Structure 1
Amino acid sequence: MDFMEMYAQKKMTAEQAASLVKSGDWVDYGWCVNTPVAVDAALAKRLPELENVNFRGGILMWVPEIFQIDDPAAHMTWNSWHMGGIERKAIAQGFSFYSPIRYSELPRYYRESPDPLDIAVFQVTPMDEHGYFNFGPSTSHLGAVCEKARKIIVEVNTNMPRCLGGMENCVHVSQVTGIVEGDNPPIGQMAAAGPASEVDLKVANLVVPQIPDGACLQLGIGGMPNAIGSLIAQSDLKDLGVHTEMYVDAFVDIAKAGKITGAHKQLDKGRQVYAFGAGTQKMYDYLNNNPECMSAPVDYTNDIRSISALDNFISINNAVDIDLFGQANAESAGVKHISGAGGQLDFVLGAYLSKGGKSFICLSSTFFNKKTGQLESRIRPTLESGSIITDTRANLHYLCTEYGCVNLKGLTTWEKAEAIINVAHPDFREELIKEAEKLHIWRRSNKI
């Protein structure tokens, strides 16, 4: 089989690829850095002729051209597996919607759902000598997408890092419908983390001492997990492992500081495992052709069974707010959408099941409300009406703010309320005690 001949036969322009999309189609845009560019621009020109085209994607790192046409809601919907700032703005325009799901379920959803997938289009690396296009840092669920899609269009980008894995991290030229050679734009980058805030550093200094040598790490996205990662890189910790949903710049810093060997991992010994990566060019350069790093499907990385099989698993994530019952919200501000479920609950559950494992939910005790002009507590008597419960009260392990780190597992309602109030901002504690009394989860004999 001559792969180059097959490549030549399937090569097409972005406009030809866009012409394959019809009204009513479901079109998958891949994920994160794999979101198409050239085909997206061509589709934006074609879209005003169409109606009811339904796109799927997630974690957009730039505004797609299809978002910028006149009255996109008249022609399309954008259905996101995990929303960021770009998609939040599109919600207000009436064409963007969230698809609530545990991220770990995505591959199975694609394979078993009766819903159609007419066309998948996403960026890939150039074809290798064996006829394969690598998915770059987003193995995630793309293997399952390719199994389900009736037509597959790959958009080749020479700047896409080739990320090694071993399973479901590429698609063969024989499987694709069309190949578009784009303009090779830079891979989408997240801004480098700024200096850690005083609060971030206080939380980091509470969490890092609880991490043992040989631990296996998962870090979420955001300033606080980044600050913790930076402190780990500067610590005396050694022989750490990585098994995470999202690979972030902090892991590169930890690895280059000599802290990561993966020597004590029960699975994938010596390898840093991740479902997708998004960060700066430093991170993409580190992942490129690096045999130490393993790009894997999300139903493996986020499977509670995989996580719990790794001893001393340390999961570090953040939240928007938490109530006195121990319910954590990491997805919304009331009914205002912020993010998605992602894999946070999978890692909260998996880390606790791990031998010696710990799960940390970290947040600042307060935030400044621009609407009211006042400082408000992130620790609330009950979550604001409409807030999403990401982690239920039965599942939280450690809660950390700048005022302390408490283990909530197994506590009664009054013990839990007391522990949570103990790490609230002092200015709000008396008010929280009064509210806890109204909720019948406070013992006066145990007032702080």
Structure 2
Amino acid sequence: MSFSEQYRSKRITATEAARMVKSGDWIEYGFCLAAPRAFDAALAERGDELSNAHIRTGVTVYPSLAFEADTTGGRFTWNSWHFTGLDRRYAAQGAAYYIPMRFAELPRYVLENQPTDVFVTQAAPMDRHGFFNFGISNSHHYGVIARAKKVIIEVNERFPRVHGGHGHGIHIDQVDHIIEGDNLPLAELPPASISDVDRAIAAQVLAKMTDGDCVQLGIGGMPNALGQMIAQSDLKDLGGHTEMIADSFVDMFQAGRMNGSRKALDRGRIAFTFALGTQKLYDFIDENPFVASYPVDYTNSTEVAGTIDNLVTINNAVEVDLFGQVCAESSGPRQISGTGGQLDFVLAGYRSKGGRSFICLSSTYRDKAGNIKSRILPTITPGGIITDTRSTTMYVVTEYGMFNCKGQTAWQRAEGLIGIAHPQFREELIAQAEAMGIWRRSNKR
């Protein structure tokens, strides 16, 4: 049977696919941009037929019609590998939950620990060799495919075809059913706005960078600022190895700063596991040999990324305490994002020969009442999640300076981190450090 004949034999409607879901099933949606649209809408039409079904996904960018149609909260439980604003809204309704993870380990979780009855993901149309491409969102899909009882591809003609790497596609032989979707546009994430504080922090990181560095950037205003500043700098021969590729990588490439020529691994290519940005990014990665989509247990593996010389990893934080512990994902016990790959790259950045790992945060924020609060704290807010332990943290950067925690005693850490806190809070932090027994009398004030 030809590939075209197989395609026709496996083609079904979204309604037919949704009817395959049973009460109690675990349904895995494609990661981030790959989450299904037509299937989700059809699942919403199941009315009161289902109970106690579970949807599992990550980095939610499309509102789920199925979940939002469940007014009782008894049809679906929403489970997310990484919270976005939509996930936080669903959690506030009492039926959405975060799944703690270290991103590099995610394929193993779905292979060993999480059952999958139905896996549904968007993908580019089948090519002449019988492959569907989901390289825009590779993540842990190969692991889900290996374990899922049913694999359903929802075709979207707007999806870019992204080179690999590996794990960036699936052959029709592995597909149970095919939905021809509605070809809806991909969600876009405009670059975050850049503040003067972001620029001040980015400038310090930029000063630590050299020609030939390999860059990993997290999401947010500061990494976006750094990408723009790199594009305008004199740096050359930079490489890219990251979990999420964003518009800033396009800027660095088009400015001639990033060519990957000095990378020993994936030379001449940016390795990534999922994309999220604007149409500029999606056009850039389409059929572009300069980019390579890989599963997350390759991009985020400490053993893999750590072999890249001069790896520079830049990530954000919510708060840092005087011991060097980093919370990057919660406000107290309330989950606001996720561990994602931050710990993966904090470890890889330090393991890399010549590598550097930076945790960046503004020194203060304003609470809902408009009061200024310090992000450098004596201890992490009660209930707060430790994303990076004190032994893994390297550089911490605020607009007031940079401090390298590695090898530093408790009193040295207290002195160094208070030194980059907002001046308004330093005396209070010193008093609290003294009370905790981590402030030496001769420390600089």
Superposed, 1:351-390 pairs within 5 Å as 351-370=349-368, 372-390=369-387
1 CA distance for matches of 2:285 and 2:379?
42
Match of 1:134 in 2: 133
Match of 1:154 in 2: 153
Match of 2:173 in 1: 174
- Answer yes or no: is the 8 Å Cα contact 1:66–1:72 preserved in 2: no
Change (3 A) 1:70 1:26: closer
> Could you tell me how far 1:168 is from its partner in structure 2?
1.0
1 CA distance for matches of 2:85 and 2:190?
13
SS at match of 1:48: coil
SS at match of 1:49: coil
Cα deviation code 1:332-376 (max 9, x no counterpart): 010111111111111111110111100000000000001x32100
SS at match of 2:242: strand
Match of 1:281 in 2: 279
SS at match of 2:382: coil
1 CA distance for matches of 2:80 and 2:281?
25
2 CA distance for matches of 1:166 and 1:202?
36
Q: What percent identity do the matched residue pairs reach?
A: 53
Superposed, 1:3-402 pairs within 5 Å as 3-71=3-71, 73-113=73-113, 115-194=114-193, 196-370=194-368, 372-402=369-399
- Answer yes or no: is the 8 Å Cα contact 1:400–1:406 preserved in 2: yes
Deviation larger for 171-180 or 283-292: 171-180
Unaligned runs of 5+ in 1: none
> Could you tell me how far 1:72 is from its partner in structure 2?
5.1
2 CA distance for matches of 1:71 and 1:164?
41
1:167 counterpart letter in structure 2? H
SS at match of 1:74: coil
How many residues of Structure 1 are paired with residues of Structure 2 in the alignment?
445
* CA RMSD between the two structures: 1.0
- Answer yes or no: is the 8 Å Cα contact 1:82–1:98 preserved in 2: yes
Instruction: Report the TM-score, using the length of structure 2 for normalisation.
Output: 0.99
Unaligned runs of 5+ in 2: none
Moved segments of 4+, more than 2 Å = 191-194
- Answer yes or no: is the 8 Å Cα contact 2:332–2:382 preserved in 1: yes
- Answer yes or no: is the 8 Å Cα contact 2:135–2:164 preserved in 1: no
2 CA distance for matches of 1:223 and 1:48?
43
2:289 counterpart letter in structure 1? P
2 CA distance for matches of 1:287 and 1:211?
25
1:393 counterpart letter in structure 2? R
Instruction: Report the TM-score, using the length of structure 1 for normalisation.
Output: 0.98
> Could you tell me how far 1:175 is from its partner in structure 2?
1.3
- Answer yes or no: is the 8 Å Cα contact 1:136–1:160 preserved in 2: no
